[in-house]
Structure 1
């Protein structure tokens, strides 16, 4: 069996929804897991109708939302068990920003590699109110799932006759947008440092 047939079998299996859900949950505290890549890949194949793009987005968003709350809980537990630990000290440095601009950080952190883990854990560790955290986590989860699903779907639609190329374009586009975001963040951070030094 060739690689493309194996990928197609995995992406068109009804178990793909459970895989998306599980990866999106686990990605909150194991950021090396490829949840976004799997959502994009499944969405490339959704062009043919199987799997369903709306279900991909729903399961990805649900997984991201649940995972964010698990990460939040981990932050709370770490605060209780290791109040002077390195992670807690780092969370304390983030706390003023989180309590001032928490919503924006929670949403933006979802799109920064490793940012989701840092922000949701810091939210729990700093005592950020769960009632404020949950709505922003929901917005971040739905936005991320929709973005990932649509990127994959557009890549699949543009290269319907060659799904592997559609998959490569979808993943490449997601990586390019992430890299561009990181570049903008780096430039803004350097500019702020230059102004502060200046």
Structure 2
């Protein structure tokens, strides 16, 4: 039988991967925090970060695929959900317009950036799944964004695990850094949106 430490670390990894899979549907799940904690719990293994990053990337992409499929097939259910949440509906429409008005390369940037905005992944998947565009064209960019985010969050936890001697301090610093980065990205997105709106008003004037 494996050691208790190894079994505990494995359970942390399983929970973290499941949280990443589920936070496409439930964006309030602390998936990033759980992944960082799993990294810290497996810091004794040199191969664990690579395996965990791969598992997180696959789970993240699979969550996108499942939510896209649900959005495509559950049209009535999705419309009911959007009608109960005006803010979510407005965000979905905004992302749809953004994707439709941009080049394929710019749309790819939207897909990748959305992964770093709190709740952005859910809004993006709903927007793609609820639009007339074929979601298949966005799947490869969803895969890229899943890999980018997985490498980012695992690397963040790994770096802090080697900079600090205690797990709780590494976890606190990693979570604070992840929150700060997500907040900064969200502010940049809002700023870009405001500038685009001002430009549209200037053109209309």
Deviations, residues 141-179 of structure 1 (Å, cap 9, x unaligned): 1111100000001111100x2221111111111111111
Question: How many correspondences in the alignment?
Answer: 189
The Cα of 1:107 is off from its aligned counterpart by 1.5
Aligned mates of 1:76, 1:46 — CA distance in 2: 38
Query: Which one of 29, 43, 47 corresponds to residue 43 of structure 2?
Result: 47
Query: Which one of 153, 156, 159 corresponds to residue 151 of structure 1?
Result: 156
Q: Does 1:141 align with 2:136?
A: no
Whether the aligned pair in 2 keeps the contact of 1:45 and 1:153 (CA below 8 Å) is no
Q: Which residue of 2 aligns with 1:185?
A: 189
User: Given the two structures, how large is their TM-score scaled by the length of structure 2?
Assistant: 0.80
Q: Which runs of 5+ in 1 are unaligned?
A: 1-7
The Cα RMSD (Å) is 2.6
Q: Which residue of 1 aligns with 2:112?
A: 107
Deviates more, 1:188-197 or 1:31-40: 188-197
Aligned mates of 1:83, 1:60 — CA distance in 2: 27
The Cα of 1:51 is off from its aligned counterpart by 8.1
Q: Which runs of 5+ in 2 are unaligned?
A: 84-88
Q: Which residue of 1 aligns with 2:99?
A: 98
Whether the aligned pair in 2 keeps the contact of 1:17 and 1:59 (CA below 8 Å) is no
